[in-house]
Structure 1
Amino acid sequence: MNRLFIFIFIVSLHVQAQKEVNYPEVVYGKENIRAAWVSHPDIKGGEDVAVLFRNTFNVDDLREDFIINISADNHYFLYVNGQFITHGPQLSDIQHYKYETLNLKDYLNQGKNVIAVKVINFGKRRFLGMQSIFTSLMVNGVSENAKIINTTGFNDTWISTIDKSYKANEVVWRGDKEKAIVGGFYANNPTDIVDMNNYPTHWETLNFDDSDWKKVEFFENASSMGGSIAYLLEPRNLPLLSWDEERIGSIVRSSKPIATEFPVLGELKIAPNSKTTFLLDQQYVTNGFPELIFRKGKSAKISIKYAENLFGPNNEKGDRNDLENKQLLGYYDEIISNGEDAQKFIPNWMRTFRFIEFEIETKDQELVLQKFVNHRSRTTIPSIAEFTSDDETYNEIFDICKRTIDICTQDYFLSDAYYETMQYVGDTKIQGLIWQAMSGNAEHTKNAIRQFDHSRDSEGNILGAYPLRSTFIYPTYSLVWVDMIADYYNTSSNKEFIHTYKDGIVNTLAGFEKNMNELNLVNKTPYRYFVDWYTGPNNGSGTATKNDGLNSAVVSLHYVRALQNASRLFQEVGEEQTSVTFKNRAEEIKKSVYNLCYDTERNLFAERPDKTIYDQHTNIMAILTDAIPENEQRALLDKILNEEDLLQATYYYRFYLFEAIKKVDAPELFDAVQKPWEKMIDDNMTTTLERFESAEKPTRSEVHPWSASPAYFYFNYLAGIQSVKNNFGEVRIAPVFGKLHAMEGILPTANGNIIFNLKRTKNKLTAEIKIPETMTGTLVWQGTEIALSKGNKTYKLKGSK
């Protein structure tokens, strides 16, 4: 590639040595589990608490594998002989509770060893995606030599203590108390308050004195009564998360002169009986587990605040590189020093930040900050896609989109990295496609589709987000789940995947059909039809105005789209009658939408039959569903991009707007639709926003994958690289360029990397393309089509335009 991407400095970047033994194929299933769930005898219920567990044992032969299963409620951190191994479990629900399978052989010593596990229950304000029954741990020896560490609660050798240094710090976002964050709804975990005076330093190491710890107590069997009284276990189906050491940026502002380059270089000494504040700028948004190592400073209070951005006097954001007269408003951890050497703090849940602010108040002893680094958290599936064009703005947009997707692909898809961290259906439809373009891997997408399938209620509704301990229902997202299955099939040609979910598709569509009225439009429901974040006076909390979606044309057309996708899927598996039923129902609704909502004077679809509201969204979906004849679709698209009084599609719904441009083959419109992303670049953002700025709804999340769609369409539309069948076993490359004249990059696929360098001069195309040996395909340019050859080849084509 000719262009250098923004450089992220990772200290001692490495591939994590520890691997999930059951990924990508299950080797040790739940039938091997003989252990039980255990806890500390003094645990009462769902209180916020940290419980420390230890098991000391002997190993005679270091040549043998030492394989265990491990899981916990809510979350665990695993250490062997003082060395951090991993944390988990993978997020799921009680009926599909995950366990990790690890081979600890390389971390063991001849003779005496210790396994140590910290289990955190985040309490009543825990992350909304985290289902829980009881603070507990399960460790099961799979290999014969590992059975000595099974948790049973009766005759095992596990001991535990409650970490009295910890309590959960609720992130206040509502009520009468001072708010900890700007932007409202917070569904992430509490942060940490830790008093090191009560912390059992070195508890995870072999020689720690644990003589006053208590024997663990049995909670429940891992399996019984044809299932489980507690958790229904199943193996982790995605790789472990990374734990790469990432350098944290330098101090850019402080309340007092600081003569050190901490944390990049050197220690930072804070004088006794003083108050000090300083701000660190990472220069790009990242996430992970920041680690602070410090000494001395008896009774000093250290507050560490994290934020994606800084805020001006009226909570405005503006240029993210402009720090003048701006403050950090965000969640924080609080630590009290015990005055000793080698104190260490790592938060119990992932933090997301560009900026970190320390507020330190010392007492009678000097405090010394020795080291501050981030342990970066990502899926370890490689994200290797690259894209460069002759337009630097496109290149910068690609970078911020890719970084957003990378940050939010953990062991599930995060809707945003700071405020919610939940896996929403509508968000995931977009994120899954982009992640597959970045990595060539669809395992996260398949995991999400399966988890959404688990969420279905008795009425056929897919929960709006899942895993979830609440009940969010957006009926439109139930339809999007069907679309996700179609998206996956479009790429993979995997008919078995359709068979897996066809009963669920029928149930979901039958459930949505109950929302339809005698006009063949949607009724109100007890729930919310989420379409987009409308702005201005037409803000119905996700729908156009506050009428609860009654007779909404765009929602009705979303149903049409799901029916059309379902019809095609059932046709693919030979179920013709069901296919025809769905197709005919889609046609009925399309006709009703056209007859009732199409305005023949304006040549536009209104959002509902009273023709009081007009938006881009309805017209976009009319194009995608062919609710308007194909030969009129281009004119409709031009119209909605030029009439300023229409309610605008924001970042989320512009995915569908890009799809409409692609459908009518109007690449010259792509740049205009992408304009809002240029504002992000102008504001020096390094990740993508959740929504448009407005007076009543200021932008909130700054790491929001549903806004990363340009990166997907750079490959899928501008470069024109698409899978024809068998998960890129056969490809079609039909570049359209838009305003661009040159594009090059790497698109990873399940069959290997496609490397391309495309240039156009008027109607001539020069294409250097390398496809893997296992791949076939065609190159298409302005009516000319030729077969692609294996290996690296250069093609010169002259078009007819």
Structure 2
Amino acid sequence: MIDQTIPAGLAAWLVPPEPPIGPAIVLYRNEFTLAHNTEFKLKFSASEYADLYLDGEWVAEGPERGDNRHRFFAEYAATLNPGRHVLVARVLFAPGEASVSGFPGDGFGFAAVSDSLTEPWSCRIPEGIELAGAFPDWGGSPRVQIASGFDWSCLQGGGGGWLPAVTTSFPLPAEPPWLPPMRREPEPGYRLHREPGRLLVIFDDYVCVRAEYVFRGPGRVETRWAESLYDTPEFDRVHLTGPKGNRSEFRGKHFIGAANNYELPGGECCWRELRWKAGRYLEIRLAGGAELAELRFERTGYPYVREWRADTDLPELNRTLELAWRTLECCSADTLMDCPFYERLQYIADSRLEALTGFVSTTDDRLFRKALRMFADSQQPDGLLFTRWPSRQIQVIPSFLLHYVIFLHEFASWRGIGKVREFLPAARRVFGWLARRTSGGLLAFPGWHDVTSGTEWNDSKKGWNFIDWCENWNYGAPPDESILNLLYLLAQKKMAELEAACGFREHADFYREEAAATASRVKAAYPLRAVTEHAAALAVLAGLCPPEEFELTPGMTPAGISFSHHILEAAYLAGRGDLFHRRLEAWYGFPANGLKTLPENFGTPRSDCHAWSSHVLYHYFSSILGIRPGAIGSNRWNIAPLPGGKIRRASGTMAHPAGAFRVAWEELDDGRLRIDYSVPDGIELAICGEPAENSGRRIVLRKQPVP
């Protein structure tokens, strides 16, 4: 029976009698017998990750990814027939860098809601299997090396070596999940290319899937995943880049990276990957008498509901929007991620842009709010936020702390101040940490040019003054801190608006005064003529430069794909449809290169799926259709489209908890726009700044001629 007095959400926490040495798989088994049909319900958790096998069949996984303050439990329920049943939990224990995105441990916790699991648990660390760090997808699941002595029946509860599991104290109280269960949908979209001793699985789209194999016969098998193949075997092992060419071409191209290896004893052997896999290609090499009997793929990821629609007379833009949505889907699981193939880490700046994309495409903001909360949970006593969280490797990027403040402001603007009020103290402490790292009133981080990671942070360590991936910048760090201080000014202004909207007048006044002082110092310290696109855009967004003066000139350091969000934002505020659509065209060539998602950067990217590039979907609704919230904390909205480029017609439906926003515009022969629109009841609406009814048709003059 469950001890209901334990306030941890679980009945027991189990560990092996002897802890494993190094990365390992730890199995926990419970054999039980039912006298009649039973509604079997189980809560379970694990130090890092576990999946459950009931009578040899995979049935569940969990828990939701937490951190060192929050441990969650997962739930499984089924109706079981009378008779004997075997439940096995496969727990991943991967200390060190074998899996950098979780918190390692070998424990397993459970609570059976029914009285089914009355028998004691046993435990086993199977022999003949070794885990090694992954490369180049270093944040994914460890590589598996299965030798001839491995007992393939262990996931069915078979074999010997089972010992009584040890009950120990709870490491953390287990909480109910914050998020819904991840997707479980069959993934049939692939084809097979066969060669002697080699089978290539080619997916129709970029996928995030749980994968299961059934092998037959004695021999050896090697499996290797890739999100894209390479033109040559040459590979930059530091930057994880190489020439890829067209991503849809596979003949004559090369896989890069370590493989899983399996020694098969004969008969039929079933193996399910330790974690879900991502990419476009799977290579399976067979030797000896080994055969592949069956493949099973199941799509996973955050269960977004698509609530947006878009259509224009420009096919390139329509395709780009679909790629943006697919990219957001693939970079969303039980946390937001920078990319699904490589580190799979939740970064502040990436999460901010992913959330903007989500605000216009779905009403479900639970994943985005979890990101805000987890970053706040990473805060240290002195106010520092970690750049990526949860993560075993600590990283500090000063600009990302500023992105957190702007993230709060944007969340409040699109979803209401009630969603972010609890995070204001964390934002205030961020400014406290930054204020102690100024010189002459401006942020200064000399020497912060390289990536520095470790398990702990202290002031003797240098972080990474990353701004954007730009040619001739050392690891994304610009030659001076002018861009960082413009972002500092923008964050101070956003914080003042946020504090005012939440009713904290004294705090709002403080940040207004700080912003005014920063503006004066920036003007005095740095040249007025911007030498980077980054500075030109931020000067407009931070109010140092009138929007009508915004210009991008030859010779400026160009912004990468993520920072181009600020370029598009400044162009919108300036009414520069020419600059806006010229930058947007940089996305249009990706499908011609075989890409099914949007990459980490222009040029030769490391990752082919990186959701900070999906902000073009946000800009379709907020800039091209021009649907934007008004003053933060108000119920005012504005519709002010920005035509330009080759687009002559655009329409769409934007998701919002208050109801759908629908806008359609068409450029008339005389250069005017006809706008049809409808917004939810109760919205105080303006069209191009003029008061309007909530639905209707208008013909308005364009502010700027379209080249």
Taking structure 1 as the reference length, the TM-score comes to 0.79
State the SS of the aligned residue for 1:505. helix
> Which of 252, 260, 264 is matched with 1:337 structurally?
264
Match of 1:354 in 2: 280
Q: Partner residue of 1:217?
A: 166
Deviation at 1:775, TM superposition (A): 5.7
Structure 1 residues 667 and 112 mapped into 2: Cα distance closer, same or farther (>3 Å)?
same
Q: How has the CA–CA distance of structure 1 residues 684 and 203 changed in structure 2, closer, same or farther, with 3 Å as cutoff?
A: closer
Q: Deviations over 1:134-173 (max 9, x none)?
A: 30100013x4x34x538xxxxx51122223243213234x
Over aligned residue pairs, what C-alpha RMSD do you find?
2.8
Q: Which residue of 1 aligns with 2:121?
A: 158
Q: Distance in 2 between matches of 1:60 and 1:566?
A: 62
Q: Distance in 2 between matches of 1:294 and 1:424?
A: 38
Does the CA-based 8 Å contact 1:492-1:725 persist in structure 2?
no
Which residue in 2 is equivalent to 1:501? 423
The aligned amino acid for 1:627 is: L
CA distance in 2, matches of 1:657, 1:406: 24
Q: Deviations over 1:8-65 (max 9, x none)?
A: xxxxxxxxxxxxxxxxxxxx998363523112223245x21112222233456757x6
Corresponding position of 1:522: 444
Distance 1:729 1:166 in 2: 59
Matched, 1:478 2:401: yes
Shift of residue 556, structure 1, vs aligned partner? 1.0
Q: Does 1:99 align with 2:13?
A: no
CA displacement, residues 349-391 of structure 1 (integer Å, 9 cap, x when unaligned)? 12111122222221xx3x3322223211111232343322110
Distance in 2 between residues matched to 1:212 and 1:521, nearest whole Å? 59
Asked whether 1:531 is paired with 2:467, we answer: yes
Secondary structure at 1:198's aligned position in 2?
A: coil
Which letter does structure 2 place at the counterpart of 1:463?
F
Q: Aligned to 1:250, what secondary structure does the other structure show?
A: strand
Shift in CA distance, 221/35, structure 1 to aligned 2, threshold 3 Å: farther
Query: What is the Cα deviation at residue 454 of structure 1?
Result: 0.9
1:520–1:588 Cα contact (<8 Å) kept: no
Q: Does 2:475 match 1:541?
A: yes
Q: In the TM superposition, what is the alpha-carbon distance from 1:452 to its structure 2 partner?
A: 0.4
Q: Does 1:746 align with 2:653?
A: yes
Conservation of the 8 A alpha-carbon contact between 2:625 and 2:641? yes
For residues 474 and 625 of structure 1, what CA distance do their matches in structure 2 show? 21
Q: SS of the residue aligned with 1:149?
A: coil
Which residue of 594, 605, 615 maps to 1:709? 615
User: 2:451 maps to what in 1?
Assistant: none
CA distance, structure 2, for counterparts of residue 439 and residue 125 of structure 1: 35
* 1:768–1:56 distance in 2 versus 1, CA, 3 Å: farther
Count how many residue pairs are aligned between Structure 1 and Structure 2. Answer: 676
- Deviating beyond 6 angstroms after TM superposition, the runs of 4 or more aligned structure 1 residues are 725-730
Question: What's 1:10 paired with?
Answer: none
Post-superposition shift, 1:393? 0.7
CA contact (8 A) 2:9 2:174 kept: no
Distance in 1 between the 2:5 and 2:657 partners?
Answer: 26
CA distance in 1, matches of 2:625, 2:305: 22
Distance (Å, rounded) in 2 between the aligned partners of 1:308 and 1:496? 36
After superposition, residues 563-712 of structure 1 pair within 5 angstroms as 563-599=492-528, 604-605=529-530, 614-628=531-545, 630=546, 633-635=547-549, 637-638=550-551, 641-643=552-554, 645-693=555-603, 698-712=604-618
> Secondary structure of the equivalent of 1:558?
helix
Secondary structure class of the residue paired with 1:483? helix
Which segments of 5 or more consecutive residues in structure 2 lack a partner in the other structure? 235-241, 449-461
Partner residue of 2:111 out of 140, 144, 152: 140
Counterpart secondary structure, 1:674: helix
Matching residue of 2:459? none
Pick aligned residue for 2:628 from 719, 722, 725: 722
Q: What's the offset of the Cα at 1:503?
A: 1.7
- Give distance in 2, aligned partners of 1:509 and 1:30: 40
Structure 1 distance, partners of 2:75, 2:6, is 10
The 8 Å contact of residues 308 and 653 in structure 2, kept in 1 or not, is answered as: yes
Q: For residues 682 and 54 of structure 1, what CA distance do their matches in structure 2 show?
A: 51
Q: CA deviation at 1:412?
A: 0.5
Give the equivalent residue in structure 2 for 1:261. Answer: none
Aligned counterparts of 1:82 and 1:597: Cα–Cα separation in 2: 66
Kindly indicate whether the alpha-carbon contact (under 8 Å) linking 2:311 and 2:652 is maintained by their aligned counterparts in 1.
yes
Contact 1:730/1:775 (8 A) holds in 2: no
1:149 aligns with 2:135: no
- Does residue 1:301 correspond to 2:227, yes or no? no
CA contact (8 A) 2:26 2:90 kept: yes
Q: Return closer, same or farther for 1:75/1:520 CA change in 2, 3 Å cut-off.
A: closer
Q: Kindly state the Cα deviation for residue 748 of structure 1 after the two structures are TM-superposed.
A: 2.3
d(CA) in 2 for partners of 1:356 and 1:339? Answer: 23
Q: Which residue of structure 1 lines up, in the alignment, with residue 212 of structure 2?
A: 291
What code does the residue aligned with 2:285 have? Answer: E
Residues 210 and 777 of structure 1: CA distance in aligned 2, closer, same or farther (over 3 Å): farther
Which residue of structure 2 aligns with residue 51 of structure 1?
A: 26
Contact 1:383 1:406 in 2 (8 A): no
Paired residue type of 2:200? L
After superposition, the Cα gap between the structure-2 partners of 1:519 and 1:236, relative to the gap in structure 1 and judged at 3 Å, is closer
Report if the CA contact (8 A) 1:55-1:116 is conserved.
yes
Which residue is equivalent to 2:486? 557
Change (3 A) 1:44 1:440: same
Asked if 1 retains the 8 angstrom alpha-carbon contact of 2:64 and 2:73, the reply is yes
Residues 1:373 and 1:331: Cα distance change in structure 2 (over 3 Å): farther
* Counterpart amino acid of residue 532 in structure 1: D
Three-state SS of the structure 2 residue aligned to 1:125 is coil
**Distance across 1 between alignment mates of 2:5 and 2:588:** 49
Q: How far off its partner does 1:410 sit?
A: 0.3
Instruction: Give the Cα–Cα distance (whole angstroms) in 2 for the partners of residues 196 and 442 of structure 1.
Output: 48
1:6 — aligned with what?
A: none
**Would you say 1:436 and 2:369 are equivalent positions?**
no
1:657 Cα shift? 1.0
Q: 1:700 to 1:527 in 2, by over 3 A?
A: same
Q: How many angstroms apart in 1 are the aligned matches of 2:35 and 2:303?
A: 33
Quote the residue 1:734 is aligned against. Answer: 640
Q: Per-residue deviation at 1:543? A: 1.3
Mapped partners of 1:289, 1:321: distance in 2: 22
Structure 1: distance between partners of 2:325 and 2:301:
13
Change (3 A) 1:515 1:800: closer
Alignment partner for residue 44 of structure 2, among 52, 66, 70?
70
Moved more, 282-291 or 78-87: 78-87
Deviation per residue, 1:766-800 (Å, 9 max, x gap): 5555655x6645362x56653124xxxx6353447
Q: Is the contact between residue 434 and residue 711 of structure 1 (CA under 8 Å) also seen in structure 2?
A: yes
The Cα offsets for residues 297-354 of structure 1, whole Å up to 9 and x where unpaired, read as x1x111111111111135411222333532122342222222113x222210121111
Whether contact under 8 Å (1:248, 1:374) holds in the other structure is no
1:334/1:496 Cα in 2 relative to 1: closer, same or farther (>3 Å)? closer
| Counterpart Cα distance in 2 of 1:317 and 1:708 | 21
Is structure 2 residue 692 aligned with structure 1 residue 786? yes
Question: Partner letter of residue 642 of structure 1?
Answer: T
1:473 to partner: Cα distance: 0.5
Contact 1:100–1:236, Cα closer than 8 Å, also in 2: yes
Whether the 8 Å CA contact 2:9–2:173 is kept in 1: the answer is no
CA positional deviation for 1:593: 1.2
- Secondary structure (helix, strand or coil) at the match of 2:539 reads helix
Residue aligning to 1:271: none
Cα shift at 1:420: 0.6
Contact 1:77 1:119 in 2 (8 A): yes
In structure 1, which of residues 390, 393, 412 is the aligned counterpart of residue 316 of structure 2? 393
- Whether contact under 8 Å (1:29, 1:235) holds in the other structure is no
In 1, Cα distance between the equivalents of 2:151 and 2:666? 62
- Are the equivalent residues in 2 in contact too, given 1:248–1:373 (CA < 8 A)? no
